[in-house]
Chains A and B, each alone.
Chain A
Amino acid sequence: MAARAIWKGVIKAGTLEVPVKLYSAVTDRTVHFRLLHKTDKAPVKQQLVSSETGEAVDYKEVRKAYPLSRGRMVILEDEELEKLQPEDSRDIEITRFVDPSEIDPRFYDRSYYLGPDGDAKAYFAAAEALARKGKEGIAKWVMRDREYAGALKEEDGYLMLIVLRHAGEIIDADALKPPGGRALQKREIEMAEQLLTALHGEFDPSEYRDEYHERVMELVETKAKGRKPKVTKFRPRAAAKDDQLDDVLAASLAKVKKSA
């Protein structure tokens, strides 16, 4: 079944113009639970109340405020916020092309396939050129009143647009100091390297399946029939003490070699 396009736009890079349609490239499979009142199993609803008076506040009457320092907030009116909205546009503006390795994977968010919207030749020429050059375009566009940045890339001969998180959404690891301690011993590093090398292989995503989802549904069925599910616990092995790490690594290596 063909998917429905969620948006239409035009990729623009200099004189280049490629009209495209957007399709979600991912499906969401989260099991949705509802919060219930334990005693009568009725769904829980949320209410907004004033923290001062405790009285209920209608959703429509809620105003927005931005926290300042020292216990102050500034109220922002809807009209003021509306003025901040980006202007509507169909342009997907490519501001530059970059080497994919420059984009930290933490920036990648949701992916969309792009399909041609009319001019199929311009579309497939763009996909092929990106593949041949091994580059990705940095894209900027406005969709449903929101500004997005993204990476335009080729995937299986088609165009794909991956939303990139804003710089401020990523917590900078450089601000963190790595854990310190007594220097690692050469022997430990060597053994760990051997162990990781022995466990090294190709990344094959098709090897991994979400089995848990189905089992949650089985649990729900079991309970729906009034049966009691079995509850088992797992206790992880205790971490080795620092002076035992050497032995644990040696034992790990012996085990890996045996099963190889």
Chain B
Amino acid sequence: MAEEQEDLESSAPSGIRSFWTGTISFGLVTVPVALYAATRSRGTAMRMVAPDGSPVERRYVCSKDEKTLDGDDIARGYEIDKGKFVVVTDDELEAIEPRKSREIDLSRFVDADSIDPVYFDRGYFLVPSSGTNKAYRLLAEVMEKKKYAGIATFVMRAKEYLVAILSENGILRAETLRFDDEIRTPADVGLPKKTKVSAAEVKKVEAQITRRTKKLALGELADDYAERLEKLVAAKERKREDIVRVSEEESPGEGAEVVDLLAVLSRSLGGGGVRKPARRSAASEAKKRAKRK
């Protein structure tokens, strides 16, 4: 249950919302930015419906008095003892690391290709969030030219992240990285001691590798399940089978969210500045979601 609620907090309903706003800094230069997810999780297209075909929405209910709750009625709590909670506010969580909650301070630049892939977690696009974008363009250009990544730690949604800022095609990206102590060593896992193998055995595998080395084709990374699902959907649509009517808002059509995200990003990257989202509390996020549905 706790897991489920955590999920609910972290899953963006549409991905169009910015996750964090603040500044990146290098030296004394500051760059106001907003973070948008650069990945979307699979399986988001599917909706839940009631037996009669009407769309289902989530409602928040107090487990004690069974009252339906509005976003403003909800707070974040940490369970210290069974059934005993300490309420923690967003302001208090931000006050722990006020600077890191608002600033990504790039005090170190490294070669972008020196970061082991095992560290990579999640990607975000950074878009300039104020009218002026010169410092953004300057950082993007120089980082890309030198093939550098900027490293920092910062706090987003009550969690500290190690982050690499990368530049590609004039656009800055943030890749959250795992902390070193979040990655186990072979000894932590309890892998056995290495066994000596003969050169002949290694050579045999090397021959297989050589024979099977090819350029990476993105088709290898296609989502086969999603493709089968889309085929099924298309077949049922053709036969007009099990079609239900919902409001346009409920079903804006396939891929609409992605198009919207690209539109939002393009608009903000275009230099017009992005509308600064208010720092929302967990509660008002929940409320917004409740309204949306």
- Encode A212-246 as 1/0 by CB contact (under 8 A) with B: 11011001100110000111111111111110010
Is B223 a contact partner of A168 (Cβ separation < 8 A)?
yes
Is A231 a contact partner of B179 (Cβ separation < 8 A)?
no
Is B38 a contact partner of A179 (Cβ separation < 8 A)?
no
A residues less than 8 Å from B194 (CB atoms): 124, 157
Instruction: Contacts A3-B190, A48-B56, A167-B222 given; indicate if A24 touches B229 (C-beta within 8 A).
Output: no
Min CB–CB distance B78 → chain A (angstroms): 5
Is A62 a contact partner of B106 (Cβ separation < 8 A)?
no
Within 8 A of B (CB), among A2-48: 2-3, 13-16, 23-48
A residues less than 8 Å from B101 (CB atoms): 234
Is B232 a contact partner of A229 (Cβ separation < 8 A)?
no
Q: Which residue of B lies closest to A122 (CB)?
A: B201
Is A203 a contact partner of B151 (Cβ separation < 8 A)?
yes
Min CB–CB distance B8 → chain A (angstroms): 7
Q: Which single member of B23, B50, B250 contacts A239 (CB below 8 Å)?
A: B23
Min CB–CB distance A54 → chain B (angstroms): 9
Min CB–CB distance A173 → chain B (angstroms): 6
A170–B223 CA distance with the chains assembled, in angstroms: 12
A residues less than 8 Å from B88 (CB atoms): 33, 216, 219-220, 223
- Encode B143-169 as 1/0 by CB contact (under 8 A) with A: 101101101010100111010001011
Q: Is A176 part of the contact surface with B, judged by Cβ < 8 Å?
A: yes
Is B212 a contact partner of A97 (Cβ separation < 8 A)?
yes
Within 8 A of B (CB), among A167-201: 167-171, 173-182, 184, 188-189, 192-193, 195-197, 199-201
Is A135 a contact partner of B242 (Cβ separation < 8 A)?
no
Interface centre among B27, B51, B160, B190 (most CB of A within 10 A): B27
Within 8 A of B (CB), among A134-164: 135, 137-138, 140, 146-147, 149, 151, 153, 155-158, 160, 162, 164
Is B183 a contact partner of A175 (Cβ separation < 8 A)?
no
Is B8 a contact partner of A46 (Cβ separation < 8 A)?
yes
Instruction: Contacts A71-B248, A125-B197, A209-B181 given; indicate if A216 touches B158 (C-beta within 8 A).
Output: yes
Q: Which residue of A lies closest to B23 (CB)?
A: A236
B residues less than 8 Å from A177 (CB atoms): 266, 269-270
Q: Which single member of B67, B106, B117 contacts A103 (CB below 8 Å)?
A: B117
Min CB–CB distance B27 → chain A (angstroms): 3
Is B160 a contact partner of A212 (Cβ separation < 8 A)?
yes
Instruction: Contacts A26-B182, A184-B138, A234-B102 given; indicate if A67 touches B254 (C-beta within 8 A).
Output: yes
A81–B45 CA distance with the chains assembled, in angstroms: 14
Instruction: Contacts A14-B208, A35-B77, A205-B162 given; indicate if A63 touches B138 (C-beta within 8 A).
Output: no
Interface centre among A40, A53, A103 (most CB of B within 10 A): A40
Instruction: Contacts A1-B190, A113-B189, A236-B102 given; indicate if A50 touches B56 (C-beta within 8 A).
Output: yes
Is A223 a contact partner of B61 (Cβ separation < 8 A)?
no
Min CB–CB distance B233 → chain A (angstroms): 5
Is A46 a contact partner of B4 (Cβ separation < 8 A)?
yes
Q: Is B284 part of the contact surface with A, judged by Cβ < 8 Å?
A: no
A210–B121 CA distance with the chains assembled, in angstroms: 15
Total A-B residue pairs with C-beta atoms closer than 8 Å?
A: 593
Q: Which single member of A51, A147, A210 contacts B250 (CB below 8 Å)?
A: A51
Is B216 a contact partner of A68 (Cβ separation < 8 A)?
no
Is A63 a contact partner of B182 (Cβ separation < 8 A)?
no
Q: Is B276 part of the contact surface with A, judged by Cβ < 8 Å?
A: no
B residues less than 8 Å from A14 (CB atoms): 208, 211-212
Min CB–CB distance B20 → chain A (angstroms): 13
A193–B262 CA distance with the chains assembled, in angstroms: 31
A3–B65 CA distance with the chains assembled, in angstroms: 42
Instruction: Contacts A35-B9, A192-B142 given; indicate if A233 touches B98 (C-beta within 8 A).
Output: yes
Min CB–CB distance A19 → chain B (angstroms): 13
Min CB–CB distance B215 → chain A (angstroms): 7
B residues less than 8 Å from A53 (CB atoms): 50, 54
A149–B127 CA distance with the chains assembled, in angstroms: 30
Min CB–CB distance A36 → chain B (angstroms): 4
Instruction: Contacts A121-B201, A209-B181 given; indicate if A72 touches B218 (C-beta within 8 A).
Output: no
Is B142 a contact partner of A176 (Cβ separation < 8 A)?
no
Is B23 a contact partner of A100 (Cβ separation < 8 A)?
no
A165–B121 CA distance with the chains assembled, in angstroms: 11
Q: Is B109 part of the contact surface with A, judged by Cβ < 8 Å?
A: yes
Q: Is A133 part of the contact surface with B, judged by Cβ < 8 Å?
A: yes
Please, could you name 11 A-B residue pairs with CB atoms under 8 Å apart, sorted by A? A15-B208, A36-B85, A66-B45, A80-B232, A105-B117, A155-B186, A167-B219, A179-B270, A196-B143, A200-B109, A256-B27
12 more CB-based (< 8 A) A-B contacts, given A34-B78, A63-B48, A66-B45: A48-B56, A70-B248, A72-B244, A138-B216, A140-B220, A169-B41, A177-B266, A196-B146, A203-B111, A224-B86, A239-B135, A245-B29
- Closest CB pairs A-B (n = 8): A2-B190, A252-B27, A178-B170, A234-B98, A212-B160, A129-B205, A42-B64, A69-B253
